[in-house]
Structure 1
Amino acid sequence: MYELIIAGGWLMLPIILSSIVVIAIAFERYWTLRPAKVVPPTLLGQVWHWLKQNQLTKENIHQLRSSSPLGTILAAGISNSAHGREVMKDSVEEAAAQVIHELEKNLAPLGTIAAIAPLLGLLGTVIGMIKVFTAIMIEGTGNAGVLAGGISEALITTAAGLTVAIPALVFHRFFERRVDSLVVEMEDQAVKLVDALHGDRVFRTEEGANG
C-alpha cells in the first residue's frame, strides 16, 4: 500500500486527505441523522399530554427545545401559539429553516469531494502521461522503467480518485435522502400540532400519550 501511494506521486496526498474527510463526515452524519434522534416517535404525544394537563412550563419548553430538532420546531410553535395560527405557523417555519440548515451540515463538503476527487485523479493521469512523453523525448523508448513509472502514476491516481469519489457520492445521496425524509416527517408533526391547538384537527396521539 505504501509503495502504491509513493508511486502515485504528490497528488495522492490530497486524495488521501479527501478520503479521511469522507469517512469522518459519513460517521458524523450517520450518528447525527438517526431518525429516532431527530424525530423521536413519542415526542409529539408527550407534548400534547403536557398541554392537556396544563403541565407545559417554561422548564418543559426549554427541555423540549433542546431535546431534538423536532423538539426545537415544536417549542417554537408552542411559544407563539397564543398569537394566532398564522404567527404560530411562521415561527414553526423559521425554526424549521434553522433545523434543516443544521441537518444539512457537512453535506456540501461531501458533495464537493465527490466532484473533485475524480478531477484530482484525472490531473494525476495527465501529469503521469506528461512524464511518459517527456521521457520518450529525452531518452527514447528504450528506458522501460521510466515509462512504466509515469504510466503507473497515471493509473494509480485515477483509481485512487475514483475510489474516493464513488463512496462520497453514495454517502452524499444517501444523507440528502435521509434529510428530505426527516424534514417531511417533522413538517407533518408540526402541522398536526398547529391544527390541534387551533381546533382544525383531532389529535390522534392523545390516547397513546395518556396511556
Structure 2
Amino acid sequence: METVVAFFQDGGAFMYPIGLVLVFGLAISLERIFSLGTLRSRNDKFWREVLPRMQQGQLKQAHSLSQESKSEVARIIDYGLERLKTATRLEEVEMALEEGLMEVLPQLEKRTQYVATLANIATLLGLLGTIIGLIAAFSAVANADPADKANLLSASISTAMNTTAFGLMAAIPLLLFYAYLQSRAQDIGSSLEMIVVKFVNMLPSVDKLTQQKAQAQSQGPAKAKRPAASPTEAGNGSN
C-alpha cells in the first residue's frame, strides 16, 4: 500500500485527472454491463411469453403483451402488430419492424463510446504529464551542481514516467471493457434481428390460422340456425 501511495505521489499533479478519468470510465462500464444484462433477460422473458401466442394466432393477446412490456423486443413487435391491422402487404409490416429495430439498436451502444474516449484521454494525460515532468527536470538540472546532475536527472525522469505508466494502467482495462461491451451489444442486436426474421416468417401461417378460425366461427352459427325439414318436405322427399 505504501508503494502505491508513493507511486501516486511521485507522479505529480497529472495523476489526479488520470485517476478521475479511470473512475468515470469504470462507472460507465459497470453501468452498461448491468443495463445490457437486464435488457437481455427482459427481452428473453418477453419473447418466451409472446411466441406461443403468435404461433397460435392470438394476435390480440400478443399485442396486449407488447404494449404492457417495457422490453426492446416488445417495442419492435408492437410496431409490427400495430401495422398489421391496416397493412395490405407483408412488406408494410416488414418496414414497420425495421423502423422499430432502427430505434432500438442505437440504445444498445449508448455511452459505450465514452469508454474508448476516456481510455484515449488517460493515455494522452499520461504522456502530457511525462513531457511536462521532463521539461521541469531538465530545467532543474541546468542550474544544478555538475556533480549531482546525473543523479538528479535520473530521479526526475523516473518520477516523470510515473504518469505514463498510470495512464496506461487506466487505459488498458477501459479498452478491455469497451471491447466486451461492443461484443455484448452486437450479440443482442443480432438476436433482435433474428427475432424480427422469425416474426416475419410466422406472419403467413398466423394469417392462415386466423382465417381458418374466422371461417369456422362464421360457419358454426349458420349450421346451428338451419331450419329442420317439415313433415311435408320429409314426405315429399320419401315419395
Query: Measured at CA, do residues 80 and 44 of structure 1 come closer, stay the same or move farther in structure 2, by a change above 3 Å?
Result: same
Gaps of 5+ in 2: 209-239
How does the TM-score come out when normalised to structure 2? 0.73
3-state SS of paired residue (2:13): coil
SS of alignment partner, residue 61 of structure 2: coil
Q: 2:79 aligns with which of 61, 76, 81?
A: 76
Partner of 2:96: 91
Following the alignment from structure 1 to structure 2, what is the Cα–Cα distance between the partners of residues 184 and 124?
42
Task: Please tell me whether residue 25 in structure 1 is matched to residue 28 in structure 2.
Answer: yes
Q: What code does the residue aligned with 1:113 have?
A: L
Q: Does 1:166 align with 2:166?
A: no
Residues 1:11 and 2:14 are matched in the alignment = yes
Matched, 1:192 2:192: no
State the identity as a percent: 30
Give how far 1:10 is off. Answer: 1.6
Corresponding residue number in structure 2 for 1:127? 132
Count of aligned positions: 199
Distance (Å, rounded) in 1 between the aligned partners of 2:81 and 2:27: 36
Separation in 1 of the partners of 2:47 and 2:164?
50
Superimposed CA distance per residue, residues 17-67 of structure 1 (whole angstroms, 9 cap, x where no aligned partner): 111012111211111112742531x53342233343354276423213x1x
Q: Say whether residues 1:2 and 2:8 are aligned partners.
A: no
User: Which residue pairs with 1:37 in the alignment?
Assistant: 41
Q: Does the 8 Å CA contact 2:29/2:112 hold for their aligned counterparts?
A: no
**Within-5 A mapping of 1:93-172:** 93-141=98-146, 142=148, 147=153, 150-172=156-178
For 1:74 and 1:133, locate their aligned partners in 2 and report how far apart those are by CA, in whole Å.
Answer: 66
Give the distance between the partners of 1:190 and 1:58, measured in 2 at CA.
Answer: 15
- After superposition, the C-alpha distances for 1:123-182 in whole angstroms (9 at most, x for unaligned) are 111111111111111214526775455323322101110011101111111111111111
Partner amino acid for 1:118?
A: T
Could you tell me whether the CA contact under 8 Å between 1:12 and 1:160 is conserved in 2? yes
CA RMSD of aligned residues (A): 2.6
Work out the CA distance in 2 between the residues paired with 1:16 and 1:152.
19
Distance 2:203 2:145 in 1: 83
Alpha carbons 2:120, 2:171 under 8 Å: kept: yes
Distance in 1 between residues matched to 2:143 and 2:53, nearest whole Å: 82
User: Structure 1, residues 78-102: CA drift from partner, whole Å, max 9, x if none?
Assistant: 2212323222222222222221111
Residue range with higher mean Cα deviation, 44-53 or 26-35: 44-53
Closer/same/farther in 2, CA of residues 99 and 153 from structure 1, 3 Å limit: farther
Report the TM-score, using the length of structure 1 for normalisation: 0.82
C-alpha separation in 2, matches of 1:38 and 1:187: 16
Q: Quick check: 1:53 aligned with 2:58? A: yes
Q: Unaligned regions of 5+ residues in structure 1, if any? A: 203-211
Q: Summarize the Cα distance change of 1:73–1:149 in structure 2 as closer, same or farther, 3 Å threshold.
A: farther
Q: Secondary structure at the match of 1:139?
A: coil
